[in-house]
Amino acid sequence: MQPVILAGGTGSRLWPLSRELYPKQVISLTGELSLLQTTVQRVAALEGASAPIIVVGEEHRFMTKNQIEDLQIADAFHILLEPFGKNTAPAICGAAAYVLNQGRGEDVLLVLPADHLIIKTEAFARAVKEAAVLARQGRIVTFGIVPDHPETGYGYIARGQGSEVTGFVEKPDQALAEQYLALGNYLWNSGMFAFTAEVLFEEMALHAPEIVASMTEAVHRGRPDGVFFRFDGAAMTSCPSDSIDYALMEKTSRAAVVEADIGWSDIGSWRALWEVADKDGNGNAVRGDVLLEDVHNSLIRSEHTLVAAVGLRDTMVVETADAVLVAPMDRSQDVKSIVTRLKKEKRGEFHVHRTVHRPWGSYTTLEVYDRFQIKRITVKPGERLSLQMHHHRHEHWVVVSGTAKVQKGDETILLKEDEATYIPSCTVHRLENPGVIPLELIEVQIGSYLGEDDIVRFDDQYGRQQKEQG
């Protein structure tokens, strides 16, 4: 069995915690580990599972790699990089083409989103075994979740006798959802699948030949880079953007469904998170530095500072360093409209947090003004930034902890705690951590333009292109 984990998307309904460059799947929502990490753990525990394949966008590749390596459970893994998102059908087809290219067409692909919660892991393993049997019989298998309430946020699968599928239906209104629940033969569409690579390609070639052609070419012309494999961007340009449901599942005659009572949630909104979270005696899901007085059935989450609430009912409050969300719980689906407005107005809050993760570590923006800004930079042991130069800004570095190796023009110096250096504009420079503990320093930038795109990169050990920031 070949697990394929789809790790694209941003989870806009979980703003302000989820951002374009810090998506839902890499966030710790229900425990210490991220949703991506718990998904990798889940498939690693399956009997006969191969090293996982993770399909992810270029901009999330290092964060994905680091999170998987932090688990220290996967001896090997493959990360397939999409140059741009084209929805689930091309992503799945690309993974299948990658497996076929290795001569493993009879392998059962277990396709799982990276951002779902599954509580009943033993029941999940049993459902996977059942799905694998059907997949080896030539079926395109989907996992249908046994509903426990009339949910309007999910699509539904109409089930016939046994594993037969009689139809897929869109997200219903409340009355129709109640009818589906009463009928008993409707299951939530989980977005999880199982099929052999060969069968998927046969059916996709029949119902979505343009996607097959584009993704076959994208793999054929793709290139490996360590644990990464890049789909060819030119080949993907003409690929239609479509979901696997529209492209295949609603058209194929080989669909089958496995009923899965596995404690599943897609955590698609703050209300969905509240439903699965541990709660106090008043029904509140609380995380972080929070003080409550007469608050009931609410979700209160603090990431950076004290949040105090009085007299709230059925309300969600989410605080991050640069944004606070307050809304009635029953309006949780409408958070996406806020993200749409932020994006339209070109505000940075939809794109990044104040802390931005890089392959070498991270930086946090502490203060921003017209001609200067202050950042805290953290460099992991043994890592280094690219050899670079800035046209418009000067930089002052003060080491807070650890040791910094600084290349500045033709000079190389070592800085320890409470030592500093100055990098004039147009000076070629590089920062490195040669020590065994994280390097922490404060950077003060001064200049007429302080954007992250003011960088000329001469050398980079992470293979980043000139257009990539940071």
pLDDT, position 453? 83
Peptide bond into 359 cis (omega under 30): no
* CB-based burial label for 118 (10 Å; 0-12, 13-18, 19+): buried
State the Rg of the chain over Cα: 24
Beta-carbon contacts of residue 107 (< 8 Å; ≥ 6 apart): 1, 2, 50, 99, 196, 197
pLDDT, position 443? 96
Interval 147-169: pLDDT, tens: 988 888 888 999 988 899 998 98
Could you say which of 3.90.550.10, 3.10.129.10, 3.30.360.10, 3.50.50.60 is the CATH number of the domain covering 2-265?
A: 3.90.550.10
Strands, E assignment, 307-369? 307-310, 315-319, 324-328, 355-358, 361-368
Interval 270-318: pLDDT, tens: 999 999 999 999 999 999 999 999 999 999 999 999 999 999 999 999 9
Q: Which structure tokens are listed for 360?
A: 């070498």
Beta-carbon contacts of residue 257 (< 8 Å; ≥ 6 apart): 141, 142, 143, 144, 157, 159, 163, 164, 165, 187
Cα 212 from Cα 169, distance rounded (Å): 25
Same CATH fold assignment for domains 2-265 and 355-459: no
Q: Collect the ranges in the chain with pLDDT lower than 70.
A: 11, 74-75, 465-470
Q: Which structure tokens are listed for 42?
A: 């889940």
pLDDT, position 467? 52
**CB neighbours of residue 222 within 10 Å:** 24
Q: In 300-421, where does DSSP find H-type helix?
A: 335-344
Q: Give CA angle at 170 (167, 171), nearest 5°.
A: 135
**Residue written as tokens 């020590």?**
435
Cα 18 from Cα 303, distance rounded (Å): 12
DSSP assigned state of 235: H
Domain boundaries, the chain: 2-265, 275-338, 355-459
Beta-carbon contacts of residue 169 (< 8 Å; ≥ 6 apart): 155, 156, 157, 158, 180, 186
Could you say which of 2.60.120.10, 3.40.50.2020, 2.60.120.460, 2.30.30.40 is the CATH number of the domain covering 355-459?
A: 2.60.120.10
Cα 378 from Cα 415, distance rounded (Å): 15
pTM greater than 0.85:
yes
Nearest of 252, 272, 214 to residue 84 by alpha carbon = 214
